[in-house]
Structure 1
Amino acid sequence: MSFAPRGNNSNFWHSLWLVARKAIAKYCFDVSVLFLTNDQCFDHQPGRQHPERPERLSAVQEGAALSELGSSLVQIEAELVDRNEILKVHDSHFVEALEKVDFQGGGRIDPDTKMSEHSWRAAQISAGAGIQAVRELSKGSHDAAFCAVRPPGHHATSNQSMGFCFLNNAAIAAQYLVNSGQKVLIVDYDAHHGNGTQDIFYQNPDVFFVSFHEWPLYPGTGRMEEVGDGQGVGTTLNLPFPARTTGDHYRKAWDEIIHPKVAAFDPSWLIISAGFDSHRNDPVASLGLTSGDYADLTSEIIKVVPSGRRLVFLEGGYDLEALRLSTAAVLRTLAGDSLHPEKSTQNGPGKEALETIAQFHIRNS
């Protein structure tokens, strides 16, 4: 049954309906979710045919409106990162090389990653958003934060830009937290393995990195055997899934494989690298998720840390409608509510992969 206005005097009833919805939203969402973005992120222009195009950010901003969180969604302008914070994660010679390309007006970093005239500033804003969010959340007035920024970051290593990424936004925020004595869980559900984030923290016992991703797929890393090194052994957990994997296998993986390990790690902060290219309609990957699956998975993930210690970064996602719906679903989840613009998925491929991953961790526990 629909409760939308209908019949005579439709304008009056429509106005009354909108007022009622706003009142309901204010009553239901007694939370505050930060939404950090900056219009200068539109100025990163890698090319008209490039999948990581400015329209992605428009779609995410439209998704924020679609979430209907009203005044519970608090938008603030993302700020430039302090260069010293970049250097705590990235090699100085690497940063200087990027600055040189920027000084020259831009250029191609690799076949997929192009810096335009304003890309470097957008990258610095994207990297700064996470630290800014952490500082705001630490004041205790907000429950979670969503960084709607671009370019994305999870492929950038300490000394290499790649895969549309210049600086590793999530890693810069995580390192900032580690330097203040925190233990950080990073969950990356982009369709592509977050090789840069994994590489940066591979030997760090204070950061637990989890990646759900399609296999095989760019960048070719993220095998289940990659579990960390040195003091970081056991703090990397990869879940490579085949094409068309459905959300039920992601949820089961979280419940049966990931959650027990994460609980033992006992993180104080959570960072989610939210890549929405795992959506079944995405043009650059082949997984089988929907916006409903993102809502379900995020709902479980955020339970591992208290409210006020939850931070989400936009990573990939190249179908604009999927971006809108998935953003709305995740934002509502961060607000403690449930929104499923599309049904959650089940009974697709992924069962055998999940069993293989589970057996591997049983043997190596």
Structure 2
Amino acid sequence: MIVVYSRGFEKRYPTNPVENPDRVRLTAQELSGYEFFEPAPASQEEIASVHTSGHIERVRMRGLYGAAALAAGGAVAAARIALREPAFGLIRPPGHHASSDHSWGMCFFNNIAVAVKAIRPHVRRVLILDIDLHFGDGTVSIFRWDPDVSVVNIGAIDINFDYINLDSIGYIEQVKNALEFHEYDIIGVSAGFDTYRLDWGGMLDIDDYRKIGSLIRDASEERCGGRRFAVLEGGYHQDLRYCIRSFVSGFE
């Protein structure tokens, strides 16, 4: 398995202080035994396949274009690598709250959407599994009318943040159901870790992320030739690096 990472993700930019460079810097140290791949920023064309020119210009005017383009490029690299072997995009800023013409929630470009658009010439059916605590409204809006892209937000009912009252067993059961119900040629994971029991979500233990990673690995091996990738979304507790390591140990 390949970890897509750049020291550029450690740069500071105007955002909420919880979305800080240590999220990826410390995790990169934790994953040091894996093979790393240095991504390039997403091209203007790749970003424009998802976002309007007006949105791109607004991101640029806020001084965020470089950071956002590099994160999107990391997601694109992870998706392209996944056509031949699994990959994890250890990227920031996150992206699943970015729609075509709007963004919020510490997101600027929708990384996983840019990645999926980039590999569509090679795969038809895509399952995007969003395991972040928060509903990935941007991703849902981008692919709403695409019958070949299924977006499943585990544990979330709707865009208004009305959550099903789940425990970890019920949460993992939803992951199983999503993997069994849909047809896909590749799985992309919006890998948020803020459902961790010491983070905002207060639910999953560190080992639960290994179980989730293993479920995705097994389903991809059985259903789509092993094609799978994940990109980092949320997760703000100091244990984030251990949650990611656990997920990757099951996912690889």
When normalised by structure 1's length, the TM-score is 0.64
Equivalent position SS for 1:160: coil
Does the 8 A contact of 1:246 with 1:287 survive in 2?
no
Q: 2:94 — aligned with what?
A: 152
* Partner in structure 2 of residue 45 of structure 1: 13
Residue 277 (structure 1) aligns with: 194
Q: Are the aligned partners of 1:37 and 1:77 in contact in 2 as well (CA < 8 Å)?
A: yes
Distance 1:168 1:159 in 2: 10
Partner of 1:197: 139
Paired position in structure 2 for 1:363: none
Give per-residue Cα distances to partners, 1:245-284, cap 9 Å, x unaligned. Answer: 43211122234x424421xxx20111011101000101xx
What's the CA shift for 1:121? 1.1
Tell me the secondary structure at the aligned position of residue 300 of structure 1.
Answer: helix
Greater relative contact order (CA < 8 Å, ≥ 6 in sequence): 2
- Report the counterpart of residue 297 of structure 1 in structure 2: 212
SS in 2 for 1:316: coil
State the shift of 1:215 in Å.
6.9
* Contact map agreement 1:191 1:287 (CA 8 A) in 2: no
Amino acid at match of 2:171: Y
**Aligned partner of residue 311 in structure 1, secondary structure:** strand
- 2-side partners of 1:293 and 1:300: how far apart? 11
Amino acid aligned to 1:201: F
Return the letter of the residue paired with 1:220. Answer: N
- Displaced runs of 4 or more, over 4 A: none
Q: Tell me which amino acid in the other structure corresponds to 1:324.
A: R
Offset of residue 295 of structure 1: 1.1
Match of 1:88 in 2: 49
Using the size of structure 2 for normalisation, the TM-score is: 0.91
Whether 2:103 is the aligned partner of 1:161: answer yes
SS in 1 for 2:172: helix
Task: Tell me the percent identity.
Answer: 30
Higher gyration radius (CA):
1
**Which of residues 164, 188, 202 is equivalent to 1:241?**
164
Alignment map for 1:229-268 (pairs within 5 Å): 240-242=163-165, 245-255=166-176, 257-262=177-182, 266-268=183-185
**CA–CA separation in structure 1 for the residues paired with 2:128 and 2:35:** 23
Q: Which amino acid aligns with 1:253?
A: Q
1:320 is aligned to 238
Q: In structure 2, do the counterparts of structure 1 residues 291 and 158 end up closer, same or farther at CA, with 3 Å as the change threshold?
A: same
Note the C-alpha offset of 1:214. Answer: 5.5
Equivalent AA in structure 2 for residue 82 of structure 1: S
Cα distance in 2 between the residues matched to 1:254 and 1:75: 28
1:123 pairs with 2:44: no
Following the alignment from structure 1 to structure 2, what is the Cα–Cα distance between the partners of residues 208 and 215? 15
Give the letter aligned to residue 160 of structure 2. Answer: G
Q: Structure 1 stretches of 5 or more lacking a match?
A: 1-32, 103-118, 224-239, 336-365
Partner of 2:160: 220
CA-atom RMSD in angstroms: 2.0
Aligned with 1:174 (options 107, 116, 135): 116
Residues 167 and 85 from structure 1, CA distance in 2 versus in 1: closer, same or farther, beyond 3 angstroms? same
What is the alpha-carbon distance in structure 1 between the residues aligned to residue 193 and residue 123 of structure 2? 31
